[in-house]
Copies of this chain bind each other. A is one copy, B any other.
Amino acid sequence: MPEEKLRRQRTGRANSSPTLEDVAQKAGVSTATVSRCLNAPARVSEATRKQVLEAVNQLGYAPNFGARALAAKRTDTFGAIIPTMENAIFARGLQAFQEELEQNGITLLVSSSSYSPQLEEKQVHALIARGADALLLIGHDRTPKSYDLLESKGIPHVIAWSIAHDVPRTSIGFDNRNAMKTLALEVLKLGHRDLAVISAPREGNDRARERCQGVADALIQFGLRPTDLPIIETPYSISNGAEAFQTLVSSGNRPTAVLCGNDVLAAGAISRARELGLRVPDDISITGFDDIEIAQIVSPGLTTVHVPHRKMGIHAARLLIAMRNGEYGDAPAESLELQVTITWRGSLGPVPLRNA
């Protein structure tokens, strides 16, 4: 009771709802920490979490109260712009994103930019014009005009599937470069020296670019020259992966391991290998990236980088809701880097003896 009185005197608002600031002051932490406790509890130590929750309970704080003033302008509609719906790369993360929004009464509208920054710019414009409260975007590459639109209209936005340490934007994702380097190091440890990469076009796609850089990093660590690495660029599709694979194995210097920029390309490579009578991994190894469902149904199963799609989607939703609700005020929300792991299946094996 005296606590409660004190708070009212301090804030000067009788009968008003407790704010995020009140909770922070009571718990003796920053408002950002309170917000993190509520939106991303896994990122906060248990001691801090307990402290904050105690303050929340004692004050009867209900998140979002402080943002009620904004409610009149709200549409409770969020937008997401993904590069493609044609394969399942973004589907699982987006589904989790939508489910989390849905639980908060928010409807999601999605656009697909076909990997075109120009088309994405139109879609950013359309979603803002149609009243989206906040936007989820994929990767950091986009037109300056798109960023201008977002900033001039003050639209909260989070960038997913990619983390950048050198930009001030809030992003939630993983280190694509380091993830691919880790996988490439495993390939090299198995004795492979003739590597090749099938990548999506790197222009306008920071994930594709960073994954190629990751392979180069691994080669350098093994004292090999990354400039010798053959890279075929082709849009993500099973049939494009198959074609690129055939081009690589038909060349004079056939690689012993083909690292694919994602599972879709790798699935195409594996099925074409079978058609060409090449045994995977006995004759040639193939790896993927993403660990989507097709990684399990190809034969052999794909060794690939496991991306925590659902976790990324859920955290992106919580972060974006908190930003929309004004819980970060004018401070930028912190980015969140997720860890990826390698899923081992049958498609990566030791270098064939004749090449060893």
Complex CA distance for A297 and B347, rounded to whole angstroms: 15
**What does the 1/0 interface line of A99-136 toward B look like (CB < 8 Å)?**
10010000111111010000100110011011100000
Residues of chain B contacted by A85 (CB below 8 angstroms): 85, 91, 94-95, 110
Interface contact A112-B110, CB-CB below 8 Å: yes
Whole-angstrom distance between the Cβ of A124 and the nearest chain B Cβ = 10
Residues 278-305 of A contacting B (Cβ, < 8 Å)? 293-294, 296-299
Complex CA distance for A271 and B239, rounded to whole angstroms: 20
Whole-angstrom distance between the Cβ of A45 and the nearest chain B Cβ = 35
Whole-angstrom distance between the Cβ of A94 and the nearest chain B Cβ = 6
Task: Identify A112's interface contact among B79, B98, B112, B123, CB under 8 A.
Answer: B98
Interface contact A107-B111, CB-CB below 8 Å: yes
Complex CA distance for A239 and B295, rounded to whole angstroms: 12
Taking CB as reference atom, which chain B residue is nearest A90?
A: B85
Interface residue count on the A side (C-beta < 8 Å) = 44
Complex CA distance for A86 and B77, rounded to whole angstroms: 21
Complex CA distance for A92 and B238, rounded to whole angstroms: 13
Number of copies: 2
- Assess A95 versus B119: contact at CB under 8 Å? Given A77-B126, A107-B126, A267-B297: no
Task: Identify A238's interface contact among B129, B274, B297, CB under 8 A.
Answer: B297
Complex CA distance for A102 and B121, rounded to whole angstroms: 13
Interface contact A110-B109, CB-CB below 8 Å: yes
Interface contact B107-A108, CB-CB below 8 Å: no
Complex CA distance for A264 and B123, rounded to whole angstroms: 30
Contact of A75 with B by CB under 8 A: yes
- Assess A110 versus B107: contact at CB under 8 Å? Given A130-B77, A297-B238, A297-B267: no
Which 9 A-B pairs have CB atoms at the shortest separation, nearest pair first? A107-B126, A130-B130, A109-B109, A271-B297, A110-B110, A238-B293, A85-B91, A86-B91, A299-B299
- Using CB atoms and an 8 Å cutoff, list the residues of chain A in contact with chain B: 75, 77, 79, 84-88, 91-92, 94-95, 98-99, 102, 107-112, 114, 119, 122-123, 126-127, 129-131, 237-239, 267-268, 270-271, 274, 293-294, 296-299
15 new A-B contacts at CB < 8 Å, known A75-B130, A107-B126, A109-B126 = A77-B130, A85-B95, A85-B110, A87-B88, A87-B293, A99-B114, A108-B111, A109-B110, A110-B111, A110-B112, A238-B293, A268-B297, A270-B297, A271-B299, A274-B299
- 27 example contacts (A-B, Cβ-Cβ < 8 A) are as follows A75-B130, A79-B109, A84-B95, A85-B91, A85-B94, A85-B95, A86-B91, A87-B91, A87-B293, A95-B112, A95-B114, A98-B114, A99-B114, A102-B119, A107-B122, A107-B126, A110-B110, A110-B111, A110-B112, A238-B294, A238-B296, A267-B297, A268-B297, A274-B299, A294-B294, A294-B297, A298-B298
